[in-house]
Amino acid sequence: MDVTRQDGPEIRGRVVLAHELPFTLGVLTIEPATRQVGLNGHRETVEPRVMQVLVALARGEGAILTRDELVERCWDGRIVGDDAINRALSRARQIATGIGARTFVIETVPRVGYQLTNPSGDGSAAANAASRAPSICVLPFVNMSGDPEQDYFSDGISEDITTDLSKISTLAVTARNTAFTFKGQAVDVRDVARKLGVSHVLEGSVRKAGGRVLISA
């Protein structure tokens, strides 16, 4: 990974996105100031806190960052709950698979901290273990009701599942926008898994008739 940044006391410690220069993680281009992640012309905007976490971990160049260090650098040392930290870490993990290229892994080192590794790098034990971390893409559920206006309901089911899964800090979940590029397509889930670099793919259907709903997954 190639990380370049400006010098300065505030930059060496706390992450100030406006002062961070663009850098690369494998084939991904990271632009902290605009919160953009890019690959082959495709770009996504991520939340400020998520970008801060990604920058802080990338700065370590494989070193382990403790939870306290992460809070100090990304939350300015303020007291924050575990849910907020886990949510930011989970969404940062999604970046690795969210636009179709699993180029890095954020590994949780029990009772120590967090480490950003490149599973295609030097083949270290930590990197190999991280590359086996579970990941999933939730494909858009198919509307089987025969009523096109019910698409919003089946889409909502897929989005709710994606949101709930993203709260699991040890699970990388493909971004909703990427997953929905497969909507309406006849796809082979094995091809989807290979393309996105995920270990699991969830597909399903929704049939709504009258007051009853049947969801298959």
Domains delineated in the chain = 9-131 (1.10.10.10), 135-216 (3.40.50.10610)
Q: Is the pLDDT of residue 127 over 80?
A: no
What percentage of the chain exceeds 70 in pLDDT? 83
Looking at residue 123, its pLDDT comes to 39
Average pLDDT, stretch 10-32? 78
Backbone torsion region of residue 5, taken as left when φ is above 0, otherwise alpha when ψ lies between -120 and 50, otherwise beta: beta
Q: What is the pLDDT of residue 98?
A: 62
pLDDT the model gives residue 91: 87
The amino acid sitting at 66 is T
- pTM for the whole structure: 0.51
pLDDT score of 40:
66
Whole-number pLDDT of residue 170: 74
Q: Is the pLDDT of residue 126 over 50?
A: no
pLDDT at 161: 93
Cα separation, 189 vs 132, in Å, equals: 19
Residue 215 identity: I
- With a CB cutoff of 8 Å and minimum separation 6, the contacts of 123 are none
- Residue (of 119, 97, 84) closest to 194 by Cα position: 97
Q: Write down the pLDDT at residue 49.
A: 93
Query: Is residue 182 within 8 Å of 140, Cβ to Cβ?
Result: yes
52-111 pLDDT, tens digit each: 999 999 887 778 888 888 999 999 878 888 888 889 998 888 877 665 555 688 888 887
122 — pLDDT class (breaks 50, 70, 90): very low
Q: Which long-range contacts (CB under 8 A, 24 or more apart) does 25-34 make?
A: 25/1, 25/58, 25/103, 25/104, 25/116, 25/118, 26/1, 26/101, 26/103, 26/104, 26/118, 26/120, 27/101, 27/103, 28/95, 28/99, 28/101, 28/103, 28/104, 30/54, 30/55, 30/58
pLDDT attached to residue 9: 36
Confidence at residue 97, expressed as pLDDT on a 0 to 100 scale: 67
Tokens of 119: 């599973």
Q: What is the pLDDT of residues 33-46, one digit of tens each?
A: 999 888 766 788 88
**Residues 6+ positions from 129 with CB-CB distance below 8 Å:** 107
Task: Determine the average pLDDT of the residues in 124-148.
Answer: 70
pLDDT at 5 over 50: no
Q: Which amino acid is located at 128 in the chain?
A: N
